[in-house]
A and B are shown apart, each in its own frame.
Chain A
Amino acid sequence: MLEVQGIHTYYGLSHILFNVSLKVQRGQVVCLLGRNGAGKTTTLKSIMGLVPPQRGRVRLNGEDVNGVEPYRLARKGIGYVPDDRRIFADLTVGENLEIAARPVPGSEGWTKERVYELFPPLKPMDSRRGGLLSGGEQKLLAIARALMTNPQLLLLDEPTEGLAPIMVKIFEERIRRLKELGLTVLLAEQNLKFTLGLSDYGYIIDNGRIRCEGPVAELVDNEEVRRICGI
């Protein structure tokens, strides 16, 4: 579904990603692991077109999407959950969700009600301003918002940061259900327990380079991986 081929990404003049390649098959949950500053966020941003890579290619469903603007990518079915939440502080929780809504004609897509069902804590806050939510609530909202665009591929950047353990558990279970419904997920995470339980395949990134890849089960046992990820 998604194929990243040897991308190089820069912030201004600083070279952050070096020849990063990865592949996500439809219906898979793929994780991207690495320590702080390794380049996980940057990889996701490059895919989303927020920091377009200067070299290399990103293909979505076989189509070249280099240099395509983020809003078009979103319409092509990528949902993005940033690590720093980026809630629309002025809008109420409900409005945050409404403006993201992008119903898919024909199929039954996500609606506000269904999202609230998924994340019950959000429901009573429907009319509270997004900026006033607690850190964890904002995180939930960011995920909910991404779902509202009815994505086929979800880019999750540290979705569990700041979530209470019970929430993490619920979330893990929900993602599993979504996966069964056919959602594809690319996950950048530090929370190993959560990640490993969920994903099918993993990439290890360090200093802007992909160091290892493989089915998660193998990765966990790999000594180098443990070192790089700092376990």
Chain B
Amino acid sequence: MVKNILRTPSFLWTAAVLLVLLLVPFIAGRFYVYILAVIFVWGLLAMSLNLLVGHGGAYQFHHGAFYGVGAYTAGLIITKTALPAWIGLCAGPVAAAFTGLVVGAFCVRLNKLYFGMLQISLGSLIWILALRWYSLTNGDDGIHGIPMPDLLSGSVPAYYFILIVVSVCLALMYLILKSPFGATLRAVRDNPQRCQAVGINVRRHQLLGIVIATFFAGVAGVLFVVLEGSVFPDMLFWVLSLEIFIMCLLGGWFTFFGPMLGAAIMVALRTFVGSYTEYWTLILGVVLILLIFFLPDGIMGINFRTWLRNRERRRSTDVVR
């Protein structure tokens, strides 16, 4: 059984990619190491969102709020309490998941856009809290210079830490999506009413999905703190959430790795195009439109399409026969 898994091409691919990523700090400049780390953080965030958007069909419009909560929790525990930094880092995702539970409990009663808008409102309340509670959060200046444990200081150790954590999270997400929970989540996406009729408690299921996804968002938030040592209210602002949402759609929201790719594209566009023109958002817009027209399921969606096509072909030969 285990041996079989080890031999599957997708496993080999993953292992090869991981190996290359492990070697990056030895072969690439520090900047690229940093940018890769940024991509991982964003990618994890986008993939956690995609758990709900692509697989759960939920209009999770303010996912950034949970990312911010994770980051702020870590930042505040580290700077405002005497607790060890590690505790702060671990508390981040838990706080995010808890926030997810509370916000989700309100939201799951609603559908589609209503769900999304209620979430934006609740998320904005959190954002306002971060923005207004000057004595705790420093308002819109944010908290900077958050000290990290020695093990994580320096960009290369931070890179490895982020790489490892992200890999573990992705593995977990993969398992979750392949599990009955994941299958049911997709069923809920397709037809919530029918799900009820087969005995699935749709709301509770979505809520669990939200808690899981927000947990991973919290992890991403903590990783951001590890990487940059800063937290600021922008992280909780709805515009950022919209951007993550776009990453999912861009990369291919019915695929597993799509959002990661979407994140990579967004980060690359803004870093590399951003250094040539201040109108990189215009370019991003044009690229997005091109993608919408020519790769309707997102970039990773191509695979999905070819797969479908092959299947269809098999089917149509059946009909002929």
A contacts with B: majority SS: loop
Q: How large is the interface on B (under 10, 10 to 19, 20 to 34, 35 or more residues)?
A: under 10
For window 95-132 of B, CB contacts with A under 8 Å fall at: none
- Over the window 279-321 of chain B, the binary record of Cβ atoms lying under 8 Å from chain A Cβ atoms (1 yes, 0 no) is 0000000000000000000000000000011001101100110
A13 partner residues in chain B, CB cutoff 8 A: 309, 312-313, 316
**Which residue of chain A is the closest to B315 with respect to CB atoms?**
A14
- A208 engages B309 (CB within 8 Å): no
Answer whether residue A226 sits at the interface, using C-beta atoms and an 8 A cutoff: no
A14 partner residues in chain B, CB cutoff 8 A: 312, 315-316, 319
Answer whether residue A86 sits at the interface, using C-beta atoms and an 8 A cutoff: no
**Which residue of chain B is the closest to A207 with respect to CB atoms?**
B319
- Over the window 103-146 of chain A, the binary record of Cβ atoms lying under 8 Å from chain B Cβ atoms (1 yes, 0 no) is 00000000000000000000000000000000000000000000
In the complex, what's the smallest C-beta–C-beta distance from B245 to chain A, in angstroms?
28
B309 partner residues in chain A, CB cutoff 8 A: 12-13
Answer whether residue A76 sits at the interface, using C-beta atoms and an 8 A cutoff: no
A207 partner residues in chain B, CB cutoff 8 A: 319
A72 partner residues in chain B, CB cutoff 8 A: none
For window 123-156 of B, CB contacts with A under 8 Å fall at: none
Cα(A208)–Cα(B308), bound, Å = 21
Cα(A14)–Cα(B310), bound, Å = 10
List 17 A-B residue pairs with CB atoms under 8 Å apart, sorted by A's residue number: A12-B308, A12-B309, A12-B312, A13-B309, A13-B312, A13-B313, A13-B316, A14-B312, A14-B315, A14-B316, A14-B319, A15-B316, A15-B319, A15-B320, A16-B319, A207-B319, A208-B319
14 new A-B contacts, CB < 8 A, other than A13-B313, A15-B316, A15-B320, are: A12-B308, A12-B309, A12-B312, A13-B309, A13-B312, A13-B316, A14-B312, A14-B315, A14-B316, A14-B319, A15-B319, A16-B319, A207-B319, A208-B319
